[in-house]
Amino acid sequence: MWGFLMSKYTVSTLQNLKNNHTRFGTITAYDAAFAKIFDDCEVPALLIGDSLGMVMQGRESTIGVTVDDVAYHTRCVSKVVKNSLIIADLPFMSYYDKPTAAVSAKKLMESGANVVKLEGGQEIADIVTMLVHNGIPVCSHIGLTPQFVNIFGGYKIQGRSEEQARKLLNDAQALQEAGACMIVLECIPAELAKEITRKLRIPTIGIGAGNNTDGQILVMHDAFGITPGHTPKFARNFLQESGNFTDAVKLYLSEVQNGNFPNDSQSFH
């Protein structure tokens, strides 16, 4: 009797895709109209990313995005979604300690999220565990984590030195042990992403991390060639190739599934 409450895709179905070696595409969504297109195409997961700070609000970074902002867009998306798993970002400084993380994550879950995403490595493993112990599935996010842009001194590829690569591998394993059910790997060398993916039980979702991760994610504007400002190397304009949004999303999903996207020139090494 409970089945009708769940979307078609859950954390278990994403885990099964990894177990069956089936690559999957995911995409960001911020509003009902695009979320409906993505959901009708049965995109396995939609992320209400704090990238909304840039693509929705015109900011220069994700810093400044609030839990209320993400909650608002999560409500817009969740109203129309029937198939896709909904992941919502915990924004900058909304999970700096356990009580704050609990309050922030509760708000996103009440807005319709199925999973919350947190940037950070083993330093936040205790927060991941606390959320999971309270029934909140966690997607971790390591590599070029945009909330750390001021620590990194810019949007720089991470994991290029041996020391950085070892730290990212250790982070991924610690987050899995802490209870994360999936992990985003952003802008790291394809070889490192492949190694992390091979070592982890849980699905990895890459962006600028080569085509040997279990899944991929794109900011929707990067998939449609409408990114405000600089277009990243790992973007591909599926809309131009297809002519309409639905076919663009279907092309993206199939190109991820058959391993054609991202290609070598859309990856870092």
Q: Which sequence positions are flagged as catalytic? A: 186
Q: Which of 76, 69, 58 is CA-nearest to residue 104?
A: 69
- Name the one range near ligand KIV by CB under 6 A: 10-18, 46-54, 125-133, 249-257: 46-54
Q: Which of 7, 51, 104, 111 binds ligand KIV (CB under 6 A)?
A: 51
Q: What element of type H or E holds 162?
A: helix 162-178
- Alpha-carbon distance of 136 to 203, in angstroms, equals 17
Full 3-state SS string of 114-151: CEEEEECCHHHHHHHHHHHHCCCCEEEEEECCHHHHHH
- Name the one range near ligand KIV by CB under 6 A: 49-57, 67-75, 105-113, 254-262: 49-57
Q: Does 69 bind ligand KIV (CB under 6 A)?
A: no
Q: Does 89 bind ligand KIV (CB under 6 A)?
A: yes
Per CB under 6 A, contacts with ligand KIV among 180-239 are 184, 186, 207, 217, 219
CB-nearer residue toward ligand KIV: 107 or 117: 117
# residues contacting ligand KIV (CB under 6 A): 12
CB-based burial label for 142 (10 Å; 0-12, 13-18, 19+) = buried
CB-nearer residue toward ligand KIV: 58 or 99: 58
Name residue 96's amino acid.
Answer: Y
Q: Does 137 bind ligand KIV (CB under 6 A)?
A: no
Q: Does 87 bind ligand KIV (CB under 6 A)?
A: no
The answer to whether 214 touches 198, Cβ cutoff 8 Å, is no
Site residues for ligand KIV per CB under 6 A? 28, 47, 49-51, 89, 141, 184, 186, 207, 217, 219
